[in-house]
Amino acid sequence: MEKKTIRCTENRMPATDDRWLSAMRAEEVEKVRAFHRSFPQYAPTPLAALTHTAKKLGLGALFVKDESRRFGLNAFKVLGGSYAMASEIARAVGREIDQTDYAYLTGEQLRKEYGQATFFTATDGNHGRGVAWSARQLGQKAVVLMPKGTVKSRFDNIAREGAQVTIEDANYDECVRRACALAGQTERGVVVQDTAWEGYERIPLWIMQGYGTMASEAAEQLKAAGYDRPTHVFIQAGVGSLAGAVAGYYANLYGKDCPKVIVMEADAADCHYQSALAGDGKARIVTGDLNTMMAGLACGEPNPISFDLLVNHACCFVSCPDWVSAEGMRLLAAPEAGDTPVVSGESGAIGTGLVAAIMSDPAYTGMKEMLGLDERSVVLLFSTEGDTDPENYRAIVGNRD
């Protein structure tokens, strides 16, 4: 069967007033990191230097942030959910976030001041698991809705955290709407969703700031490895919250020396790519079942907050077929000799697969030249999840056909 083609478009959308950029300043993200450091489970996740693989591909350096180690949850999403929940609790009891650390959130004083709420969310798996884990840690309740086609392992991971979890007969975007409706019918119901809409912006912004911990760690680890900054950052997008957070943080951190930010999506749910292709700065929506093995990227409606950041700070948008991720999973599982393997799931490996295709397939020479990828390039990727679908992971990594 002929492989579907990777599609790419440069960002020619008109700039906006960039109203959300200040939310991702280094000073704001340092508050987030201080909160995450208060958790006994916290440790920076590894930044794998794929030195030999970079040389094979014709790059100066290739780094992969391995989020399979995050809080023992096999994905980065807990960073956003935990920070948003803590910030919402802090707001409700009149505290600052620096007064709302893990010790307070798990202590008897919180029970007296706040009591118990029910946190609702829709998820492909990773975000919901992070919300469920955080709720259990903090003595709160969680209700999680998952889209049709969800694999059992992701459902089970959330259920084990004590959440009420269901698989709905709907896609992700409809699950978001259902979660909101249920929260509205529940006493002390709170929606913790990683996308925004009119009137619902505070919590999604906190979630994005939560992701800043990962981007900040990576920047520090790069510097420790001898690189002042990456030249290229490839970042995946579902609703776009992670991509917007990373683009915004690095725009603040590096200023005029900001790396090129390349946003990648599953081609079955490429709402950002379609928006950039139209070029008028208005977000497009992709509908239907959004069938892709990259479950974490199966979202058809952009988060307007992160979309605004990407309009201003992404250099291009790429629509990737599933084979791109599969190739990335295999390459990370068995990199060039001397490099440390990384267990990366379907949504985590898309960047590695894309970079490998661009650098090694003559069909994408034009993309390589447009991005300026060569032996001087320092490329940063984020493997946002480990083997969250173990069965599919084994099938792909063990099958090179």
Q: Indicate left, alpha or beta for 281 from its phi (over 0: left) and psi (-120 to 50: alpha).
A: left
pLDDT of residue 124: 87
In the chain, the domains with their CATH numbers are: 7-76+204-397 (3.40.50.1100), 78-202 (3.40.50.1100)
> How many Cβ atoms are within 10 Å of 213's Cβ, its own excluded?
28
**Cα-Cα end-to-end distance for the chain:** 11
The whole-number pLDDT of residue 3 equals 87
DSSP letter for each residue of 259-303: PEEEEEEEGGG-HHHHHHHH-SSPPP---S----S-GGG---S--
- Per-residue burial over 67-98, b if 16 or more Cβ lie within 10 Å, else e, is bbbbbebbbbbbbbbbbbbbbbbbeebebebe
CA–CA separation, 226 and 137 (whole Å)? 37
Chunked mean pLDDT (size 10), the chain, 401 residues = 88 98 98 97 97 98 97 95 96 94 93 94 93 94 96 94 96 95 97 94 98 98 98 98 98 97 98 98 96 95 98 98 98 98 98 98 97 98 96 86 45
- What is residue 399's predicted lDDT score, i.e. its pLDDT? 59
- The rounded distance, in Å, linking the Cα atoms of 250 and 307 is 16
Give the catalytic positions in this structure: 77, 124
Contact 33, 25 (CB under 8 A): no
Radius of gyration for the chain, computed over Cα atoms and rounded to the nearest angstrom: 20
Phi, psi angle pair for 144, to nearest 5°? -125, 125
Amino acid at 91: R
Contact 188, 53 (CB under 8 A): no
pTM check: above 0.85 = yes
